[in-house]
Structure 1
Amino acid sequence: MNEPTRQPPRRMIQVGKVHGAFGVRGEVKLESFTEPRSAVFRYQPWVLRDARGIERDCEGARGRETPKGVVATLPGIEDRDSAEAARGLEVWVPREALPPPRPGEYYWVDLEGLRVRNVEGVEFGTVSHLFSTGANDVLVAHGERERMIPFVVPDYVVSVDFDAGLVTVDWDPDF
C-alpha cells in the first residue's frame, strides 16, 4: 500500500484587513496592502482569518476605491451588524496567486527563512519576519539573538540571493 504524499504547507501572504462597517448595506472598510490598493480584488479566492486563527474561504468579493479608502462587499455579509462583526478579519491569499515581483523587489514572505550574513561573514541567523515603521521596512533576523536591520538597499541590505538562500547585510554584529 502506498503512503499518502504529504503536501508542503501553502505559503500564505496577507493582502488586507477589514476595519469595520461602511454604510448600512453590509459593505466593509478594507485596508489593502496591494499596490494599487484596488488590486486586492484580483487575488481571489481569499482566506479570511479571525483573531483566533479560524479561517474561512471567501470567493466573489467585490469592491471599489473611494477617497476614504477601499470599500468591499463580502459574500454572506448583508447588513451593518454583520459588517461590523467582520472587523479585524485578515485577508490572506496563497503566495502563488501573486504575480512575480519586479527585479529588485521582494515579497516579504519570500525572504522569511533565508540566512542573514554581514559583509564580514558574521552569521546573524535567519529572517524571521519584516515589518514597516513608516519611515522604512525592517528585517528581523533571529540567531543567537534578535537583530533588527533597516531594509534599505544598498545602504544596509547589500544583496538578496534566493539561489544561495542568503541575505547579505552591511550591519555591525554588535548592533
Structure 2
Amino acid sequence: MSDRVCVGAIAGAFGVKGEVRLKSFTSEPNDIASYSPLWTEDGQRSFSVRLTRPVTGGLGARLSGVETREDAEALKGVTLWADRDKLPSLPDDEFYHADLIGLAVYDTGGVLIGKVRAVYDHGAGDILEIFGPGRKQTLLLPFTRAFVPTVDLAAGRIIADPPEEEEGE
C-alpha cells in the first residue's frame, strides 16, 4: 500500500485569477479540501485547497501558489494525492481502488488468473480489470462478494470466482 491515495485531478483553469476546476474522486466530493495538503503524483509539489463554488463538471477551487490563469492552465491533467493517514478508515468490506491495483487474483482452486490492472466504476458498481499470462484479453469482473469472495490486502491477493469462460473468448 502506498502512503498516498489519488483523490482528484485538475480539469483546467476556471476564471482569470488562478482558480481551477477540480474533479473530486472522493465519495463526498467536497471532502477533498479536508485532506489538504494535496500532492502531485511525483510528490514534488503540494497545495492547500479551498473550495470556492460548484462549477460545471466539478468544483471551483483555489490552490496555494496558483495565482494566475496561466498557472492554473499549466496544471491541467495533474492528479492530486492525499496522505493516507488523512483519509477516513474504511469498513472491512470496502477498499481504496489504489490498494486493489496490482494484487494477484487466484480462482477458488488456487490457480493464478492474473493481476488487477485497473478498477472501473461506471455507475453500476466497481469492475476489476484483470490481466494475466496466457490471456488474449483482459477479464472484467464485477467487484461483488459473489465474484470476489476474498480480498486479503495483507497477503496481497484476491480470491475470485469468475464465470466459466467459453472456448474462443
TM-score (norm 2): 0.79
Judged with a 3 Å threshold, the aligned counterparts in structure 2 of structure 1 residues 121 and 172 are, in CA distance, closer, same or farther, namely farther
Q: Please tell me the root mean square deviation across aligned C-alpha atoms, in Å.
A: 2.5
Q: 2:7 aligns with which of 1, 6, 15?
A: 15
Deviation at 1:66, TM superposition (A): 1.5
- 1:137 equivalent to 2:137? Answer no
Judged with a 3 Å threshold, the aligned counterparts in structure 2 of structure 1 residues 45 and 156 are, in CA distance, closer, same or farther, namely same
Report the Cα distance in structure 2 between the residues aligned to 1:44 and 1:112, rounded to whole angstroms. 24
Q: Is the 8 A contact 2:38 2:80 kept in 1?
A: yes
Report the Cα distance in structure 1 between the residues aligned to 2:151 and 2:11, rounded to whole angstroms. 34
The residue correspondences of 1:90-109 to structure 2 (distance < 5 A) are: 90-109=79-98
List runs of 5+ in structure 1 lacking aligned partners. Answer: 1-8
Q: 1:60 aligns with which of 48, 63, 74?
A: 48
1:87 is aligned to 76
Q: Is the 8 A contact 1:138 1:148 kept in 2?
A: no
Identity %: 33
Report the Cα distance in structure 1 between the residues aligned to 2:123 and 2:76, rounded to whole angstroms. 23
The Cα offsets for residues 80-99 of structure 1, whole Å up to 9 and x where unpaired, read as 22222221111112333322
List runs of 5+ in structure 2 lacking aligned partners. Answer: none
Report the Cα distance in structure 2 between the residues aligned to 1:65 and 1:170, rounded to whole angstroms. 44
- 1:153 equivalent to 2:141? Answer no
The secondary structure found in structure 1 opposite 2:99 is: helix
Judged with a 3 Å threshold, the aligned counterparts in structure 2 of structure 1 residues 62 and 15 are, in CA distance, closer, same or farther, namely same
1:44 is aligned to 36
* Comparing 38-47 and 141-150, the one that deviates more: 141-150
The secondary structure found in structure 1 opposite 2:73 is: helix
Amino acid at match of 1:44: S
Amino acid at match of 1:80: R
2:21 is aligned to 29
Q: Is the 8 A contact 1:58 1:74 kept in 2?
A: no
The Cα offsets for residues 23-64 of structure 1, whole Å up to 9 and x where unpaired, read as 222111000001210111121222124xxxx65322322114
Q: Is the 8 A contact 2:47 2:65 kept in 1?
A: no
Report the Cα distance in structure 1 between the residues aligned to 2:43 and 2:103, rounded to whole angstroms. 27
Deviation at 1:140, TM superposition (A): 2.5
Report the Cα distance in structure 2 between the residues aligned to 1:41 and 1:27, rounded to whole angstroms. 14
1:116 is aligned to 105
Report the Cα distance in structure 2 between the residues aligned to 1:17 and 1:91, rounded to whole angstroms. 5
Q: Is the 8 A contact 2:20 2:60 kept in 1?
A: yes
Q: Is the 8 A contact 2:120 2:127 kept in 1?
A: yes
